[in-house]
Each structure stands twice: as structure tokens, then as C-alpha cells.
Structure 1
Amino acid sequence: MLRTNLGLRIPKGMRDLLPEEISVQEGLEERILELFKQWSYQKVLTPTLEYSACVQPDVEQEDSLYKFFDREGHILTLRPELTIPIARLVSTRMRGGEFPLRLCYGADVYRNSNVRHREFRQVGVELVGSDQELADAEVIALAVEAMAGLGLKNYQFNLGHMGIFAGLMLETGIEKELQAKLEEVLARKDMVGVESCVRQSGLPERVQELLLRLPHFRGGEEILDEVLGWSEQPAIQHAVESLRKIYQYLEDFGVQANVSLDLGILRGFSYYTGAVFEGYVPGIGFPVVEGGRYDDLYADFGVPQPATGFAIHLGNLLEQFPIPVVEGADILVYGSDAKEIIRRCRELRAQGKRVEMSLGVLGDEKAKSMALQKSIKEILRV
């Protein structure tokens, strides 16, 4: 049956990857995962489908999930990220593990939102079982090293802390509905929305000015001293001192020059509780690295553990790298005797050669032309 026009297209936000594009993506992923391995992170993999009961409570916008029903009537969801599924995994099959656990992954995730890509590859790490600032510094330093290891130039990381915004909200006693709206527009860096929301909030003038400054308040360690003067709220004081320790550790790791403090960062998943960070590369107007601390998530699975981690949106980085010509087979075997062609191909493959077998009778000129078009290095007539 002839396919309709819709049958010739792919769903919005999805994409096909050609052999040369897959070659680049797999090469990048292999390099990153090898780096993770050097830092003692071990790879895990969770199912593409999870029960919605696992991921839904921690997703800001429920309609961003792809949902299905199974035969038993349970609601299933395509994983929107890996942090929550790994929390489930650790809390069940790895429950008796020796903490801290260092885990990493490379997998596709799916988000039904108004972004360019709704299916994309992520590689990332989760460091589970340590509440130390040194753990935060480790994952940030690892993220920076990953960008450097890919040969990217002029990348930049921004580091903030959820406790500063949370502390301001506690001090004002703001209603939860307004707080959620403020958090949403700040996380999206919607400056018009921030201005509108703050000016209509009825908050004290001083708090309004601080909230309006947050999206633009970035720099080095010197900005933390100013923040200490904003409030004596313990949440803010703790956040500032935590950021100071992390930032100083980053100097020890040799990556501080690539990291700026940015107090306007708020992450889009509700589980983040502490230090949060983003990584940018020139030419892409959104973060290609996102991460932070999430100390409350594991308690939801019955195994309370502090944790921190990050994800690299690998699919969004493909355009930063030249697409090479895909390397063809090592040798093309051709001739007129199919039995002999098969025998010779088997011999060569047993020697570790990548072999393309002629499926019909080829002449010498046709074989040379085919090898040239397919980037095959050698031809063998039998």
C-alpha cells in the first residue's frame, strides 16, 4: 500500500540520523564515557519506558511527557531524563550498594515540548551518597573536562544555587502560586515575564529589586560578599558559603577560569535543592550541559541519599563538529562465482577485515567505480 504524505514524514521534534551523523555522535559519546570511566563512573542503563508514577511527580509540566497505556491499564511514560530513573534503579536493585555511587549513562530522552528536538541523546553522571561541596565540585569539573575533551572552544559554565531564591521567598512569605510563577519565568530567563511578575507581586521594594537583579547578577567570588548583605536568612547564608567552597574547589581542579557565578540560574525540574549549573557553547542559545544537586529525590524512593549530577545534551552538539565522509569497508570482493566470493569474504572477515560482498556479477571498471563511491579502500576480484 502506498504511504500517505504523513507516512513519509517523522513526528515533530524527532530526527533521522545518517551514517555520517551517527559516526560523529557515537564518537563523541565514546570519548565522553571514556572520560567518565577515568573518573571511576560506571555505566548503567534504564528502560526507555517508565511508569508515570516514577517520573511524573518531579516534572514541572505534565504535558511535556509522552504517555501511553499498557495492556493492564497502567500509564507509561517515555523517560524525559535519566536522573529519576537512576534514582529508582539505585533505590531498588542497587539498594545495598557501597555509597557514594558514581554512575554514568548514554541514552535517548523524550520531551513533548516546544523545543527544536523532542528526542535527543544525553550522556551524564550521577554521584549519589555525598552531601559534600567537594562532590558538587567534582561533577562540575568533570563536565568542564568533558567539553574540553571534545575540543570545543570558548565554552562557558555558569554556577548558581537554588537556596538564594528559596531564601528570598522564605523571607517574604510569598504565596506558593506566585513563587512558582516567578521560578518559572526566572528558569526560562524570560526577562519580560520576570519584570511583569515582580512588579505585580506586591513584594517589598527591596525584594523586588533583588529579584530583578538575579538574572543579571554574575561574576566571580566577589559577588558572594554582596549577597551576604542581602539577608540574614539561613538559607541564603548557607547557599553563599556552599557556593564559595565549591568555587574554591574548582580552582584546585584547574577549571575555575571556565566557570562564572550566576545567581539567576534555576533548573526546570522540581527536585533540585542546592548548587545548579549550566554549560554553553558559542552558536547555541540554550544550555548544552545542565546539572545540580538534588538531595531530596531519593527520599521519595524510600532510600534517602544526597546526590548531584549533570547531563550533556549530545544531540544538540552535533552541529558543532564537521560531518566527515563515512569510512567504507576495507575491501570489496567481486567476481562471477558466488560460491568463491562467499568463501573469500569469510576468510577476510575471519582476519578482522571489514568486507563488502558483491551481490551480482561486476566488471573491473564497475567495481572500481563502486569502491570509489563507497569509500572502499581496496578491491579484490576472485
Structure 2
Amino acid sequence: MLRTNLGQRIPDGMRDLLPEELVVQERLEEEILALFRQWSYQKVLTPTLEYTACVQPDIEQDDSLYKFFDREGRILALRPELTMSIARLVSTRMRGGDFPLRLCYGADVYRNTAVRHREFRQVGVELVGSDQELADAEVIALAVEAIAGLGLKNYQFNLGHMGIFSGLMLEAGVDEGLQSKLEEALARKDMVGVERWVSQSRLPTRVQELLLRLPHFHGGEEILDEVLDWSERPAIQEAVERLRKIYRYLNYFGVQENVSLDLGILRGFSYYTGAVFEGYVPGMGFPVVEGGRYDTLYSDFGVSLPATGFAIHLGTLLEQFPLSSTESADILVYGSDAEQVIRQCQALRAKGKRVEMVLGRIESDVAQKMAFQKHIPEILCV
């Protein structure tokens, strides 16, 4: 049957990976997962399809989900990320585990958004069961080392805390609607939107000034002392001191020079509650690493567990690496007797050789040309 034009295309935001592209992606993933294992993280895998109540327990009508109905009429969705899926896994099959749990993954996620990619390959970790600042510092340091280990240069991580923004909102008595609009604009780095919502608000002049400064508050530990002068509200004071402690721990890990404090960071997912961070590499205008603390998410799954983690958007990083040539076979085998050719190929494979079998009879000069074109170093005629 002749395929239609649509049958020859792939859905928007999805992509094929050629052998040489897949070689790079798999190599990067193997290197990162090896590092995770070195830090005592164990790999898990959750289903590609989840019930929408799992992946978005508080936003059933999220348009960013790819949704389906099963035969019983229940709504399913392709997972948009793995944090919630792992929360479901931990709260059910791993509920009696020895906490804290250190889990990692490498998997595809899907988001039906108006961006270039809607299918993402992610690798990441979840550290579940510790509310200590040292846990935050561990996952941030691990994220930095993962990017550094790939050989990338001039990368930069930014670290903030959700409690500073939420504390300002509480102190100013900002209504939920305006807070959501400001939070969304800040998360997208939409400074024009921030200025618009602030100017249209009836917030006190001092609060407006602080909100407009927040996205530009970027630097070292010295900026935290200035934040303490903003307010005596306990929530803000606690967030600052937690951030200070995490930042100092990063110095002990030896990664602090690659991390700047950025009080304008707000993560796009609503479940983040504490320290949040992003990692950038040159030439890419969006974060390739995203993570943070989410201490209330597990209550949606019937347990009370603090947690922190991050995800690396591996697919987007492919553009930073030259394509690798695919691995060629070690030996090309051909001959006039199919039985002998097959047996010889099987014997060589049993010895660990990568073997390409010629499918049919060819002359030696053709075999040599074939081996040359495919970069196969050895030829065997049987």
C-alpha cells in the first residue's frame, strides 16, 4: 500500500535518531548513569503510560499531557517527567524501603507543548526521605559533576529557593491569581510579563521594587545578607539560611565555583517547595538541567516524605557533541556455500567477534570494496 504524505512523516516534536546520533546519546547516558551508580544511586524504570491522576494529581485538565483512554474508559497519559511516577513507585512497592532512597533513571518523557521537542530523553536522580540541606547539596553537586564529566566547558548552574518568593507573596498579601501569573512569568524568564503584572497590581511600592529586582538578584553568598534586610518574616529568613548552608556545602564538594545564587529562579512544576536549580551550557538559551526540592508531593500519594532531585535533558545535549561513526563489524564473511558461511559466522560470534555476513555470492573484489566502504578491517572467504 502506498503511504500517504502523513504516513511518511512523524508527529510534531518527535524525532528519529540515526545510528550515529544514537551512538552519542547512548554513550552519554551510560557515562552519566555510571556516575550515578558511583554515588550509590540505583536505577529504576516506570511505565511510559500512567493514569493522569498520577502524573498530574492536582491538574486533571493539563493540556501539556498526551492523553488516551483505555478500554475501561480511564484516562491515561504519557509521562511528562519521572518525578511523579517515581513518587508513585516509592509510595507503593518501595514504601517499606530503607530511607533515604537514592534512585536514578534514563527514560523518554513526553510533553504536548508548542516547542521544538515534545519527546525528551532524560537522565536524573531522586533522593527520597531526607529533608537535610546536605541532601540538596549532594544532588546539585552530582548534577554539576555529571555535566562536567561529559567534557562540556563554561557551563553554569544557578541556585535559588522557592521560599523567598512565596514569603514575599505572603508578606504582601498577594492573591492567588496574581501570584500564579507572577510565578509563571518568572519561571519563563519573561521580564516583560513580570513588569506588566507588577505595574498593574496594587502592591506596596517596596514590594513592587523587590519583585522587579528579584530576577536580577544574582551572585555569591553576599546577596543573601541583603535579602535578610528585606523582611523579618520567618519563612524568608529560613529560606535564606537554608540556601546559605547548601551553598557552603557545595564548596566542600568542590563545585561552588560553577554555581551562582539566583533568587529569580522558579521551577515550572507546582510541586517545588525549597531549593531549586538550573544548569546551562553555552549556545543553548534554556536549561539542560532542572531540579529542586519537593517536600509535599508525596502526600498526594498517601505518605509524607521529603525529597529532592534533578533531570538532565539528554536529547538537547546531543547538539553539543560531534556525531560518532557507528561501530563497524570486525570481520566480513562471504562464500559460495551458505551453510559454511553461516557456521563460520556463528563460530566467530561465539568468540566475541562482531560479524557481518554477506547475503549471497560475491567475488573477492566486491567483498573488498564492501569492507572498505563499511570500514570493516578483516575479510574471510569460506
Q: TM-score range by the shorter chain?
A: over 0.9
SS in 1 for 2:46: coil
CA distance in 2, matches of 1:11, 1:230: 49
Q: Secondary structure at the match of 1:64?
A: coil
In structure 2, give the amino acid aligned to 1:137. Answer: A
Q: Shift in Å at residue 44 of structure 1?
A: 0.2
8 Å contact 1:58–1:269 — kept in the other structure?
no
For 1:12, give the aligned amino acid: D
Partner in structure 2 of residue 194 of structure 1: 194
Is 2:371 the counterpart of 1:371?
A: yes
* Counterpart residue identity of residue 275, structure 1: A
Residues of 2 paired with 1:115 and 1:222: CA distance? 37
Letter of the 2:130 counterpart: S
Corresponding residue for residue 204 of structure 2: 204
Amino acid of the structure 1 residue aligned with 2:227: V
**Which residue does the alignment assign to 1:181?**
181
Alpha-carbon shift at residue 374 of structure 1 (Å): 1.8
Give the corresponding residue for 2:249: 249
Q: Which amino acid aligns with 1:247?
A: Y
For 1:230, the equivalent position in structure 2 comes to 230
Deviation, structure 1 residue 60: 10
Q: Distance in 1 between matches of 2:247 and 2:7?
A: 52
| Cα deviation code 1:148-206 (max 9, x no counterpart) | 11011000000000000000000011110111011000100011111101100111111
Paired position in structure 1 for 2:294 = 294
Q: Is the aligned partner of 1:120 residue 2:123? A: no
1:160 aligns with 2:160: yes
Please say if 1:272 is aligned against 2:272: yes
> CA separation in 2, counterparts of 1:60 and 1:252?
42
Structure 2 residue identity aligned to 1:38:
Q
**How many angstroms does 1:375 deviate by?**
2.0
Gaps of 5+ in 2: none
| Map of 1:258 onto structure 2 | 258
CA deviations on 1:339-373 (whole Å, 9 max, x unpaired) are 11001001000101111111111111111121122
SS in structure 2 of the partner of residue 103 of structure 1: strand
Q: Any conservation in 2 of the 1:332–1:378 contact (CA below 8 Å)?
A: yes
Distance 2:369 2:268 in 1: 53
Q: Give yes or no for contact 1:60–1:269 (8 Å, CA) kept in 2.
A: no
Structure 1 unpaired stretches of 5+: none
Question: For the Cα contact (< 8 Å) 1:13–1:117, is it kept in 2?
Answer: yes
* Offset, 1:78: 0.2
Match of 2:9 in 1: 9
CA distance in 2, matches of 1:233, 1:149: 41
Partner of 1:90: 90
User: Structure 1 CA distance, aligned partners of 2:44 and 2:171?
Assistant: 41
Give 1:36's aligned residue: 36
Residues 43-74 of structure 1: per-residue CA shift (max 9 Å, x gap): 00000000001112356981000000000100
Q: Residue type matched to 1:207 in 2?
A: V
Kept in 1, the 8 Å contact 2:52–2:60? The answer is no
Residue number in structure 2 paired with 1:341? 341
1:381 maps to 2:381:
yes
Task: State whether residues 58 and 271 of structure 1, in contact with CA within 8 Å, keep that contact through their aligned partners in structure 2.
Answer: no
- List aligned pairs for 1:70-109, cutoff 5 A: 70-109=70-109
Q: Given that residues 126 and 308 in structure 1 are in contact (C-alpha distance below 8 angstroms), is that contact kept between their aligned partners in structure 2?
A: yes
**Separation in structure 2 between the aligned mates of residue 58 and residue 358 of structure 1, nearest angstrom:** 57
CA contact (8 A) 2:53 2:60 kept: no
What secondary structure sits across from 1:63 in the alignment?
coil
Contact 1:105-1:124 at 8 Å conserved across structures? yes
| Paired amino acid for 1:313 | H
TM-score (norm 1): 0.99
**Deviations for 1:216-254, whole angstroms, at most 9, x for unmatched residues?**
110000000000000111111011000000000000000
C-alpha contact 2:293 2:307 (8 A) present in aligned 1: yes
Bigger mean CA offset, 308-317 vs 355-364: 355-364
Matched, 1:137 2:137: yes
Find the aligned partners of 2:352 and 2:231 in 1 and give their Cα distance. Answer: 67
Quote the RMSD (CA, aligned, Å).
Answer: 1.0
Deviates more, 1:218-227 or 1:55-64: 55-64
- The Cα offsets for residues 84-137 of structure 1, whole Å up to 9 and x where unpaired, read as 000000000000000000000000000000121100100000000000000000
Superposed displacement of residue 303, structure 1: 1.2
Indicate the percent of aligned positions where both proteins have the same amino acid: 81
8 Å CA contact 2:333, 2:356 repeated in 1: yes
Partners of 2:230 and 2:114 lie apart in 1 by 37
| 1:35 and 1:146 in contact (8 A); partners too | yes
Deviation at 1:307, TM superposition (A): 0.3
Partner AA of 1:52 in structure 2: T
Residues 263 and 202 (structure 1 numbering): CA distance in 2 closer, same or farther, change over 3 Å? same
TM-score w.r.t. length of structure 2:
0.99
Give the secondary structure class of the aligned counterpart of 1:272.
Answer: coil
Partner of 1:149: 149
